[in-house]
Structure 1
Amino acid sequence: MSNNISVEDVPLNRFHRLLTVRSGGGSFVDGYVLSIIGIAMTKVSPALGLSPFWEGLIAASALIGIFFGGFLGGALTDRLGRRMIYFVGPTLFIVCSVAQFWVQSGEVLFALRFLNGVAVGIEYPVATAFLVEFMPKKSRGPCLATLTILWFAGAATAYLVGDAILNFGGTDAWRYTLASTAVIGALLFLVRLGTPESPRWLISKGRHKEAEAIIRRVYGSGFSLKNLPEQAESKNLSFASLLHSGYGKRMAFVTIFWMCSVTPVFAVYAFAPKVLEALHLSGDWASYGSIAITLLFVVGCIIATRLVNTLGRRKLLLHSFLWSGLALLLLGALRDGPSMIILLMFGAYALFIGGAQVLQLVYPNEIFPTEIRAGAVGVGTSMSRIGAAVGTYLVPISLQSIGIGSTMYIAAGITFIGLIVSWFLAPETAARDLNDAASLNEETEPRVSSGGLNKHRNQY
């Protein structure tokens, strides 16, 4: 029995939910890996006799690794397929995390955490490409947005697990803390067993029979290639060639908006107590404020996840940059104001920036075709980590040299750059078929039928 329903219009099923868990694990590990070192460092430093130089380098090692891993993961995922690269990250998590248990020097610890960062960088392009290429279009945005929430869940778990191990683990507790990532890596490896290859990637390589077999397996015997919106087979164009064919503007949009959204967030999140202290909040105000800001980051992402379809991608991004930028601007102007106003503005920033945060993984997966989708996510991931690293590094220096007011004005300026770029370049992709959203056609109204896609095939 056959039907005419597109696979992008089917209801969310058990496979989709399991795939969200399988892919979301990468974001969870990212939050865990980046947070666990901060918890363990108080014990690691004296145990290994680390100098301040090596402390800073080890703290930044995973971010450096993510930069290289994003490029590598994107290129390999587009060239070798989604399924093969799906297991590279978990394998590296297991091997490198177990090896950290026996580490004896700062240099070796840096190398192992660098490789863990590479694994995280690989995760983003492959996990999100897998998710977007199977997911129904109504669930595509919310499921991709959920990955951002899982990052915070991973960070929170790292704090809870790390604190528990350090309190009850004895002299070598820090070794168990660093090695704990291996447990998550092993679970991620196991839960991904049995994941089929993406039919879209197989079709782009001319492997139609394999693609049809997977479509029947996932969606039922009544489905076939006819139920998948048409796409062109890859002509072995390089990533650079496709960018020159018209996708360069979209790559610029993704890179700039991602950097502008993540740079102030990492800086604020990493140094919330120090920033609050500079704003004359101390004691309980600073302690409770840091907790509240963290919670509001999560709440903001949850709200944005609910709005990503109803409000639309473009409007959500513009509102997110506008209101979060205004909150930072007011923080600079009201730096000597009452404590409650300061916390209110900080909370507003954390809440409103959620829209830009969740769209970091939605946009690059929707506006690029199958043959360069993972590569585009990889580039966005890598470039965003430059902004994260620079922002994190410069905040203490900025607070000391130019003060809290100017620091907040700079953060607001970066956010408004994201707003301006998004105003001119952000497309609307909600409710559009994945191939339609990835085409270079600039129309804003979604097309329900996939039949009209044929005339755009030559564009990608």
Structure 2
Amino acid sequence: MTAHAKSTAENTPENTPESTPETPPENRVDDAPLSRFHKKLALYSSGGPFLDGYVLSIIGVAMAQITPQLQLSDSAQGLIGASALIGIFLGAFVGGWLTDRFGRQLLYTIDLVAIIVCSVAQFWATDPVWLFVLRLLIGMAVGADYPIATSLLAEFTPRRYRGPLLGGLVVMWFVGAATAYIVGEIMLSYGGDDAWRWMLASATLPATVIVLLRHGTPESPRWLANKGRAEEAEAVLKKVYGPEATIADLPTEERENVDLKAIMRSGYGGRMLYITVFWTCSIVPLFAIYAFGPRILDALHLEGGLANIGEALITVMFLTGCVLALFCVNRMGRRPLVIHSFVWSGVALLLLGIFPDAPSNVIMALFALYALIIGGTQILQWVYPNELFPTEVRGSAVGLASSASRIGAAVGTYLVPVALTAWGIGGTMLAAAAISLLGAGVSVLWAPETRGMSLDEAATLPDRSPRSPRSPESLRV
């Protein structure tokens, strides 16, 4: 390689697409090739879901020590287990509103700093109230990251890769959960009486790494364009998609009455209702299993350390199911995937409820089946909300749906220890099955199909048509 060629290669921006098509794409943004920038953005955005899975799962292992040391009742266990979910409910909507108002980039790292501070503070928690408050604050920070990171990723990603990359965020949730159970079991074995404190504080390390990696991420050009900041939007487009990209490559998403309340009245309320119900039915059984997984498996005759190991193995199956769903989301389409996922995972839970005294290998097989099949609904939690609402309110819509779904998840998690005592494991699993089958029913009635659409097409209601590409002059101020 000549010195000139070497210098040229070294000065190539890291976000230059890895392959250049022989003919220009139909649209330099929606039909762009996948670049290193997109891959890095997807990786950095996945930090929030990783921490979510880690934080919500580590408490299940830590509870084995927390309960006797802090003398927790069933009700107190439920509150502490649900505290992060309650925080997500509060943080997701506020974070969504803030990211629509002030931009995606500004809040992209601030929320993780809050997780670091509160995770460290958990080490010195001395009573249930203090622990509840800290985990509530952590949940608020995690919830705020949902609309921030997913909106940013959705607005940069070409349509062909949007489903898999957004769905991939959920994969990282399960990576975080699996990591939590492995770390928790090691600390429980070797950490002594204070092992639970080290467990809860351990989220500090990955959160710090993610904050450092996210530094320097550019603002969404779609958000900038919708705020009338055309020159800044075009500068970002050229940096990410190449020097030929212009503001004209962004289709207009201007709509009348674009505040969230007006959009709900103008026809998007049905979409919000479906997203909320589908998301709730998807996460209530799953979060309950994660918050009290060892106790549930113990009730199903997998005892002690075997319960924690079983939970880790089930988490690996959850992860595998999400990866399989990523390969199906574009091939099957969104609607068939969500319906089949709900139906067959509900059947697995139904069998667990009917046969709670089955042999251990049968119990594990049914849990593994549930974990594999529910992956379709899990990845669509991030795909559907980001596709079905316009840029002006995408963050608020994702935040509102996430917040609303966490109401049911928090109530369900709180009631798990009470249900196990009152109904037994069979009744608890039957209730979980009913929730999954409810999700199947509402999906048959309301689930839309958005495969292959641009963001503007997917966010446009069926009786309306997307606008023409925006002109740079129309946005300059």
What letter is aligned with 2:439? G
Taking every aligned residue pair, what percent have the same amino acid on both sides?
52
Structure 2 CA distance for aligned equivalents of residues 129 and 184 of structure 1: 22
Label 1:283 to 1:384 Cα distance change in 2 as closer, same or farther (>3 A).
Answer: same
Moved more, 280-289 or 237-246: 280-289
Q: Does 1:421 align with 2:442?
A: yes
Q: How does 1:75-114 map to 2 (within 5 A)?
A: 75-114=97-136
Q: Does 1:247 align with 2:268?
A: yes
What letter is aligned with 1:94? I
- The equivalent of 1:306 in structure 2 is 327
- The equivalent of 1:217 in structure 2 is 239
Structure 2 CA distance for aligned equivalents of residues 65 and 40 of structure 1: 19
Label 1:407 to 1:35 Cα distance change in 2 as closer, same or farther (>3 A).
Answer: closer
Structure 2 CA distance for aligned equivalents of residues 113 and 280 of structure 1: 30
- The equivalent of 1:447 in structure 2 is none
* Structure 2 residues without counterparts, runs of 5 or longer: 1-23, 471-477
- Following superposition, the deviation at residue 231 of structure 1 comes to 2.1
Q: How does 1:236-315 map to 2 (within 5 A)?
A: 237-276=258-297, 278=299, 290-315=311-336
What letter is aligned with 2:350? L
Contact kept in structure 2, 1:94 and 1:186, CA below 8 Å: yes
Task: Decide which of 461, 464, 470 is 1:440's aligned counterpart.
Answer: 461
Structure 2 CA distance for aligned equivalents of residues 168 and 286 of structure 1: 18
Contact kept in structure 2, 1:77 and 1:374, CA below 8 Å: yes
- Following superposition, the deviation at residue 438 of structure 1 comes to 0.5
Contact kept in structure 2, 1:229 and 1:433, CA below 8 Å: no
Q: Which digits, 9 at most, give the CA deviation of each residue in 1:297-325, with x for residues without a partner?
A: 22111111111111111110111112112
Contact kept in structure 1, 2:300 and 2:357, CA below 8 Å: yes
- The equivalent of 2:57 in structure 1 is 35
Label 1:177 to 1:11 Cα distance change in 2 as closer, same or farther (>3 A).
Answer: same
- Following superposition, the deviation at residue 129 of structure 1 comes to 0.4
Q: How does 1:223-234 map to 2 (within 5 A)?
A: 223-232=245-254
3-state SS of the aligned residue for 1:453? coil
- Following superposition, the deviation at residue 356 of structure 1 comes to 0.6
Contact kept in structure 1, 2:25 and 2:31, CA below 8 Å: no
* Structure 1 residues without counterparts, runs of 5 or longer: 444-451
Structure 2 CA distance for aligned equivalents of residues 316 and 183 of structure 1: 35
Task: Decide which of 204, 225, 238 is 1:182's aligned counterpart.
Answer: 204
- The equivalent of 2:474 in structure 1 is none
What letter is aligned with 1:410? A
Label 1:319 to 1:370 Cα distance change in 2 as closer, same or farther (>3 A).
Answer: same
Moved more, 410-419 or 427-436: 410-419
- Following superposition, the deviation at residue 61 of structure 1 comes to 2.0
Task: Decide which of 375, 389, 399 is 1:368's aligned counterpart.
Answer: 389
3-state SS of the aligned residue for 2:450? coil
Contact kept in structure 2, 1:4 and 1:227, CA below 8 Å: no
Taking structure 1 as the reference length, the TM-score comes to 0.88
- Following superposition, the deviation at residue 345 of structure 1 comes to 3.0
3-state SS of the aligned residue for 1:325? helix
Contact kept in structure 1, 2:258 and 2:393, CA below 8 Å: no
Q: How does 1:11-22 map to 2 (within 5 A)?
A: 11-22=33-44
Q: Which digits, 9 at most, give the CA deviation of each residue in 1:328-358, with x for residues without a partner?
A: 2333344455554444333222211110111
Contact kept in structure 1, 2:60 and 2:291, CA below 8 Å: no
What letter is aligned with 2:466? L
Label 1:206 to 1:197 Cα distance change in 2 as closer, same or farther (>3 A).
Answer: same
Structure 2 CA distance for aligned equivalents of residues 179 and 236 of structure 1: 45
Label 1:344 to 1:100 Cα distance change in 2 as closer, same or farther (>3 A).
Answer: closer
- The equivalent of 1:453 in structure 2 is 466
What letter is aligned with 1:231? E
- The equivalent of 2:428 in structure 1 is 407
What letter is aligned with 1:227? D
What letter is aligned with 1:37? I
Q: Which digits, 9 at most, give the CA deviation of each residue in 1:122-166, with x for residues without a partner?
A: 010101001100011111111111111111111222233344455
- Following superposition, the deviation at residue 285 of structure 1 comes to 8.4
Q: Which digits, 9 at most, give the CA deviation of each residue in 1:252-309, with x for residues without a partner?
A: 0000011111112223344445445555666998677545433222211111111111
Contact kept in structure 1, 2:81 and 2:291, CA below 8 Å: no
- The equivalent of 2:180 in structure 1 is 158
Taking structure 2 as the reference length, the TM-score comes to 0.85
What letter is aligned with 2:374? I
Contact kept in structure 1, 2:91 and 2:143, CA below 8 Å: yes
Structure 2 CA distance for aligned equivalents of residues 165 and 340 of structure 1: 27
Contact kept in structure 1, 2:335 and 2:448, CA below 8 Å: yes
Structure 2 CA distance for aligned equivalents of residues 41 and 277 of structure 1: 14
Q: Which digits, 9 at most, give the CA deviation of each residue in 1:213-241, with x for residues without a partner?
A: 11001111111112223321x66632111
- The equivalent of 1:379 in structure 2 is 400
Contact kept in structure 2, 1:215 and 1:224, CA below 8 Å: yes
Q: Does 1:58 align with 2:98?
A: no
Contact kept in structure 1, 2:103 and 2:219, CA below 8 Å: yes
Structure 2 CA distance for aligned equivalents of residues 350 and 15 of structure 1: 32
Q: Which digits, 9 at most, give the CA deviation of each residue in 1:73-132, with x for residues without a partner?
A: 111111111111112211101222233344444433332221111100101010100110
- Following superposition, the deviation at residue 441 of structure 1 comes to 1.9
Q: Does 1:320 align with 2:333?
A: no
- Following superposition, the deviation at residue 377 of structure 1 comes to 1.2
- Following superposition, the deviation at residue 409 of structure 1 comes to 3.1
Structure 2 CA distance for aligned equivalents of residues 87 and 334 of structure 1: 47
Moved more, 219-228 or 175-184: 175-184
3-state SS of the aligned residue for 1:195? coil
What letter is aligned with 2:369? A
Moved more, 402-411 or 169-178: 169-178
Task: Decide which of 112, 127, 140 is 2:149's aligned counterpart.
Answer: 127
Contact kept in structure 2, 1:325 and 1:349, CA below 8 Å: yes
Structure 2 CA distance for aligned equivalents of residues 363 and 55 of structure 1: 33
Task: Decide which of 4, 21, 31 is 1:9's aligned counterpart.
Answer: 31
